[in-house]
Amino acid sequence: MFPSILKASLLGKAQKKGLVEICLHDLRDYATDKHRQVDDVPYGGGAGMVLKTEPVVKALEDVAQERGKIRRIFFTPQGRLLTATLAREWASYDQLILLCGRYEGVDERVMDSIDEEVSIGDYILSGGELAVMIFIDVVSRFCPGVVGDARSVEEETFENGLLKAPQYTRPESFRDVGVPSVLLSGHHEHIKKWQRQQSLERTLRKRPDLLEKAELTDEERRYIRSLQLNQ
């Protein structure tokens, strides 16, 4: 599942430039039986299979031996929710081990070898792989040099706790719908102010929950209140 995603676009370039290195390890390589089995039936009964302790712990130890001390993250719907703030923090680590959950669960004793559990949202994926790929994409964007223009990261939605202002490119008019004139004015201060107001307005309309945590000036709070009154 991984190569096509990892080769594509920004991540592909980041790896070519040596800014990010991603190594894949197959748990089956650490199985001890001839069928290279990594899962087994659950003690106590129940649906599905459980990922076995031995191959997982061996894999974690093997990678750690090769790489030195390394933070181990397990991907599970029970983990801490992935956010931009946490992604920035994880990007500051030199190395991470990302362990995909699979099947109906993982033997609980694996958790003794895990530093942190991460989830990407309140829904169930059929496997941790997609979550890990999303994690790699999100976290890589915070690694220096991966996003060519650092402003793209700084100005992005969620960076200041608000949604991003609407954006436009040519043509100036599409089926009689124009571009807001302030964006054509060349007046940077006016543009900045307009974008900030648009951010506030959009966030209020689409994600009001974000406003509770956003860092706002008194003037911005007054602006939001005036929007609420006009609703």
Residues in the chain: 231
- Write down the least CB distance from residue 147 to ligand 6GU, Å: 24
Query: Is 76 near ligand 6GU (CB under 6 A)?
Result: yes
d(CA 168, CA 204) in angstroms, rounded, equals: 21
Q: Taking CB under 6 A as the criterion, which residues in 115-144 touch ligand 6GU?
A: 119-121, 123-125, 127-128, 131
- Write down the least CB distance from residue 61 to ligand 6GU, Å: 22
- Write down the least CB distance from residue 98 to ligand 6GU, Å: 10
Say how many residues touch ligand 6GU, by CB under 6 A: 13
d(CA 89, CA 198) in angstroms, rounded, equals: 28
121/178 with CB nearer ligand 6GU: 121
Cα distances (angstroms) measured from residue 151 to each of 20, 43, 135, 156, 157: 20, 52, 21, 8, 12
Q: For residues 139 and 114, is the Cβ–Cβ distance under 8 A?
A: no
73/165 with CB nearer ligand 6GU: 73
Cis peptide before 171 (omega within 30 of 0): yes
Helix (H, G, I), strand (E, B) or coil at 171: coil
Query: Is 101 near ligand 6GU (CB under 6 A)?
Result: yes
Query: Is 161 near ligand 6GU (CB under 6 A)?
Result: no
102/198 with CB nearer ligand 6GU: 102
* Radius of gyration of the chain measured on its C-alpha atoms: 23
d(CA 6, CA 225) in angstroms, rounded, equals: 44
Query: Is 75 near ligand 6GU (CB under 6 A)?
Result: yes
Map tokens 């609420």 to a residue: 228
Residue partners of 225: CB distance under 8 A and separation at least 6: none
- Write down the least CB distance from residue 130 to ligand 6GU, Å: 8
Fill in the per-residue mask, 195 to 224: x = in contact with ligand 6GU (CB under 6 A), - = not in contact.
------------------------------
Q: Which residues here bind ligand 6GU, judged by CB under 6 A? A: 75-77, 101, 119-121, 123-125, 127-128, 131
